[in-house]
A and B are shown apart, each in its own frame.
Chain A
Amino acid sequence: MHHAFKGENMAATNDPFEAARNAGPGRRTILKTLGIGAAGLAGIPLLAACTGGSGPAPGATSNSLTFGSGSSDDVPKAAYKAVTDAFTKKSGITVATNVVPHNDFQNKINSYLQGSPDDAFTWFAGYRMQYYAGKGLLAPVDDVWEKIGGNFSDAMKKASTGPDGKMYLVPNYNYPWGFFYRKSFWAEKGYAVPTTFDELKTLATKMKADGLIPIGFADKDGWPAMGTFDYINMRLNGYQFHVDLTAHKESWDQKKVSDVFDTWKALLPFQDPAALGQTWQDAAKALGAKKTGMYLLGSFVTQQFTDPAVLADIDFFPFPEIAVEGTDAVEAPIDGLLLSKKGGDNQAAHNFLEFIGTAEGQNAYSAVDASNIATVKDADTSKFTALNKKCADTIANAKYISQFLDRDALPAMANNVMIPALQSFIKDGTVDVKNLEAQAKTLYAAQ
């Protein structure tokens, strides 16, 4: 599997150096797998010290680093604290964490990266990472990936690669998008999981006849509808088209795009008609209360089910296949760490990213925040619920991992263009793809 991936990655990045660099991980993977466990992990800083020369020259002051975190909610905040504590304990390197409310962090990223950013900071995979990498505001971490490469799946590695073929991101966790439903309710009604789009429509028709809203839906905030668009697009036109379209290498004004909306139109009558007035939390409640049959959202939907009995009753299935690639592509936004340009000169920051790329680092995180799925292959799964395990398997088995429209596309395109366009589509089932392309042209040209 690892080798198959490398071929793919080379084709995608077209970078001979990348291939040369990748020659290492195979050997190291074996080392890693042998040495996993406390003893093996303890060896990592030694390893880092030995091979440190391959990174930027470590200064004498590299026994501390600053870490900017947009994970400001209580649970993720405590989880990152656990990670930095574990890192400090192990390496003796102190980490000064600056927590910024996550909306502010996202909104101010431009000035943050140009001003005096922290050495390492939390961010996402996708276009937005690639964009800043392309602008030279991030530091590559190929030296880190040489050591941790074996811990990650092909799709993860691909999602962490910058436009120049260098590695920039170290993934921490992600969460899959799928149709969530209540097992007991479906068993009682005799509903079966649909595997094709036609089956999905048949099931929805049946649910409607049973007096249910077949598909829960909420788009007051504008972004959740992007999940439906992404999945129909990937199932109709393939993962690569999704990537090219969101990067505006493909035109929006083409049949492939209008086909997506035409296909979606068949689903609209089954989606909650009150979508534009409710948030995903409202829709999650409706699913929990058995008012809706199923709900397409990220696995974070489970945060809303505070009753353990309901939570245990939740299951999900992947978006059914439509035309191409079966269900190979999974929408699973990845959150992880990046190094700022300045942080690239601090060896301690490289060490920190390496730590988060190991099972030890990610276990420290997920021990506190269990709502997401760790991205390393050998993460501790002993505390996984059945649903956690299914989420993890879905991601591990995915051939392609997409990052969600607002992470894969230019943010202005996602926020200023697609939110109004999708909302008006939900309202009246029409969309002007010509206008989408006209807007995309202007916005991408401004970058």
Chain B
Amino acid sequence: MSTTAEKPAAPDSEPGAAGQTLAASVRRGVGKRPIRTGRVRRLTRRDKLVLTVMVGLPTLIQLLLVWLPTLFSVALSFTRWNGLDLKDIKPAGTENYRFVVEDYPPFWPAMQHNILWLVFLALVATPLGLLLAVLLDQKIRGSKIYQSIFFTPVMLSLALIGIIWQLFYNRDSGLLNYLLGTAGTPAAVDWFGDSNVNIWAAMVAATWRHAGYVMILYLAGLKGVDPSLREAASIDGANAVQTFFRVVFPAMRPVNIVIVVITIIESLRAFDIVYIINRGTNGLELISALVIQNLVGEGQVIGVGSALAVILLVISLIPIVFYLIRTFGKESKA
């Protein structure tokens, strides 16, 4: 620590009176000339200024934009408030949480849907993205074009995605019912309106986006794998499948962790597609949609919305903490 405090001498940092104790220098306060105390050199005024700005500003932004709102949300989740006058904030204990869990019908379906979403992304979307990445990594002709095509959904605006999938799923004129030969008949499946199928329809649309995202990350990961590893594997007589699963995949460990975290977070913040379809009602309930429903707009119930947001926060913290422990825990060991 003492070594890091040692700074290259700035023009105004001549050594002061030697032999001063640290305590004395502290008593003399800031603004005094820096004093050399043994090996420790006091920071110059400019150093302090730079440090204050560089540490203070991000801290302030973080505090203002992340921590304060989070703490306010947590605090508000234990109150009743109509959002009008601060005087109207009334303590409510855990009533909002009880309401959400016991009285709010969309809550448990939303939890189930979030879990279903996670399982679907983890078992279908992410492996699909990996598959695409491996295929496109094979130096096939037009690889760049395919990459662009698969990545396009990630870049599209939400409104556009809603329109595109509407073309597929529309009950009367959609492509899907047309292909099934049921378009215009009573047997036509109402992909967005039927609460038995609409969550699957939405997850397929989400997969369409998520797979492209995963693909790009894995493509980068695959490029980063040392080619000599593959050579070594093939010299040892491993076939393509063995090479991939025993050598290449484990070598992409940093990417894998990122992907796991992204998949979990994507499933927790899944929101846009269901919101475009029907604002997260009728079989498409998700926690994030309920948070919006209760916090934004006319149906605002700040206490309940905050409670839902806190629940979502706590659930989200689990994978984030896991991720941080994995990455930083390893760094400190190294």
Contact = CB atoms under 8 A, between A and B. Distances in A.
Interface of A: 106-107, 109-110, 114, 128, 135, 137, 220-222, 274-278, 411-412, 414-416, 419-421, 423-424, 427, 432, 435, 438-439, 442-443, 445-447
B82 interface: yes
A248 to B, nearest CB: 14
B299 A414 contact: yes
Contacts of B301: 412, 416, 443, 446
Interface of B: 80-85, 95, 99, 102-106, 171, 190-195, 278-279, 281-282, 285, 293-294, 296-304
Contacts of A443: 301, 304
Contacts of B105: 420-421, 424, 432, 435
A416 B296 contact: no
A277 B297 contact: no
B304 to A, nearest CB: 7
- The binding surface of chain B is classed by DSSP as loop
A306 to B, nearest CB: 18
Contacts of B103: 435, 438-439, 442
A276 B190 CA distance: 9
Contact of B195 (A106, A427, A438, A447): A427
Contact of A446 (B81, B190, B191): B81
A107 B298 contact: yes
B82 A446 contact: yes
Contacts of A110: 83-84, 300
14 contacts: A222-B278, A222-B281, A277-B190, A278-B171, A414-B299, A416-B294, A423-B281, A424-B282, A432-B105, A439-B99, A442-B99, A446-B81, A446-B82, A447-B82
Contacts, number: 94
Contacts of B85: 114, 135
Contacts of B281: 222, 419-420, 423
Contacts of B191: 277
A89 B224 CA distance: 73
Contacts of A220: 192-193, 278, 282
B184 to A, nearest CB: 11
Contact of B304 (A137, A276, A446): A446
A114 B83 CA distance: 10
Contacts of A427: 195, 282
Contact of B300 (A412, A435, A438, A445): A412
A222 B194 CA distance: 14
Contacts of B304: 442-443, 446
A137 B85 CA distance: 11
B275 to A, nearest CB: 13
Contacts of A222: 278-279, 281
Given A220-B278, A276-B195, A439-B103, A411 B299 contact: yes
